[in-house]
């Protein structure tokens, strides 16, 4: 009996240790459990991130299958960096680090109000777009005369902002913000993405559009490139996460700075009318917190009323939150009235932002 008891005790001990190891493994690295304020002070390189086993890895595999299914031999390589991009001279695709872990996605949403590429469908949209850039680089397509005739000069200076023409039928519509209109290289990447998308009947969807000629050119070009080996084969990685010494806080400070807009002084004046500088009592919450808490309702309502893309509204709302935080503004009065006034202000500035040509080139 004593022997059996010791065996049972030994077995129970092993089970406890096994459960403990599983629990530790499932809980992930220590930074996962940190609150936002502490997590922001962690260096990006210290997160020890990898694409292996992530949801985005399955999207990358799908992209390879789609390209292989079209007979294309290019197989772009991927790495984690600070944003979505495909560098000049390298036929690969960088994926933002927040895509590597759900905790980082939550932080991204907290800081930027959205997670770009955060859904599978959105992720695939971006990957097909970046694959267009990779194809352009791998086969030096922008050097071709017909490419320049269809899309314009690749060497054209890249604008920081651009003013889209929503009614134009000279460009495909793939990513938000009428992104194909921002630059000839983006026009090609967007057109390639539309061509690559499975079960996309682009001949029907773009019948009567001038953009159809561009898709037909891409179709002809990709048929020509079937089974051809890429001319540029670099596997280099630009700004990989393991070399990024900046903290998450520094990273997001830089990102948010990119959204500063020319009408900032006007925005500040209106925010100071809508909110107050000092809290008179405990009911006067920080205005930035108020906007974050109600951002979903605010964004949905203004997007519905204006008929604009939600991205436009979110861009303005992000700036309002940033300025309220910087100015240390607080709410005052009843919440219903504050919400109504905020909606009116957000609507006006969303339309001004669109008409003022403030859409930014980012991918």
pLDDT (tens digit per residue) in 210-245: 999 999 999 999 999 998 999 999 999 999 999 999
The token duo for 271 is 């925010």
pLDDT of 302 > 70? The answer is yes
Of 69-83, 99-113, 165-179, 335-349, where does the model show the most confidence?
A: 69-83
pLDDT-derived band at 9 (thresholds 50, 70, 90) equals very low
User: How large is the average pLDDT for residues 173-198?
Assistant: 94
More confident residue, 256 or 347: 347
Question: Where does residue 1 rank: exposed (0-12), middle (13-18), buried (19+ CB within 10 A)?
Answer: exposed
Alpha helices in 155-241 (DSSP H): 184-196, 202-205, 211-225
82 closest CA partner among 299, 243, 279, 266: 243
User: How large is the average pLDDT for residues 309-319?
Assistant: 79
pLDDT confidence of residue 261: 45
pLDDT of 363 > 90? The answer is no
pLDDT (tens digit per residue) in 275-290: 998 766 667 889 999 9
pLDDT confidence of residue 10: 52
Question: Where does residue 69 rank: exposed (0-12), middle (13-18), buried (19+ CB within 10 A)?
Answer: exposed
């Amino acid at each position: 009996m004593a022997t059996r008891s010791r065996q049972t005790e030994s077995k129970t001990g092993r089970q406890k240790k096994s459960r403990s190891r599983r629990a530790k493994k499932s809980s992930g690295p220590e930074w996962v459990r940190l609150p936002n304020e502490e997590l922001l002070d962690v260096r990006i390189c210290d997160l020890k991130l990898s694409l292996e086993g992530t949801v985005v890895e399955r999207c990358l595999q799908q992209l390879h299958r789609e390209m292989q299914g079209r007979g294309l031999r290019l197989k772009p390589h991927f790495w984690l960096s600070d944003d979505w991009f495909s560098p000049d001279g390298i036929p690969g695709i960088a994926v933002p680090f927040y895509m590597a872990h759900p905790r980082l996605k939550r932080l991204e949403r907290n800081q930027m109000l959205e997670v770009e590429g955060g859904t599978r469908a959105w992720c695939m949209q971006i990957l097909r777009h970046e694959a267009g850039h990779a194809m352009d680089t791998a086969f030096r397509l922008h050097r071709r005369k017909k490419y320049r005739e269809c899309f314009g000069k690749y060497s054209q200076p890249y604008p920081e902002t651009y003013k889209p023409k929503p009614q134009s039928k000279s460009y495909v519509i793939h990513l938000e913000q009428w992104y194909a209109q921002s630059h000839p290289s983006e026009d090609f990447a967007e057109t390639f993405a539309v061509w690559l998308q499975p079960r996309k009947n682009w001949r029907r969807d773009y019948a009567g559009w001038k953009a159809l000629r561009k898709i037909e050119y891409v179709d002809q070009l990709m048929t020509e490139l079937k089974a051809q080996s890429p001319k540029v084969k670099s596997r280099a990685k630009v700004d990989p996460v393991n070399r990024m010494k900046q903290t998450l806080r520094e990273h997001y400070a830089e990102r948010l700075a990119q959204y500063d807009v020319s009408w900032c002084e006007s925005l500040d004046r209106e925010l100071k009318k809508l909110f107050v500088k000092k809290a008179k009592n405990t009911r006067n919450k920080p205005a930035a917190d108020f906007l974050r808490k109600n951002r979903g309702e605010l964004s949905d309502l203004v997007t519905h009323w204006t008929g604009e893309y939600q991205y436009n509204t979110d861009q303005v709302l992000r700036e309002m939150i940033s300025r309220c935080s910087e100015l240390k503004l607080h709410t005052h009065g009843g919440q219903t009235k504050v919400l109504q006034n905020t909606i009116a202000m957000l609507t006006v500035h969303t339309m001004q932002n669109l008409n003022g040509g403030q859409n930014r080139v980012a991918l």
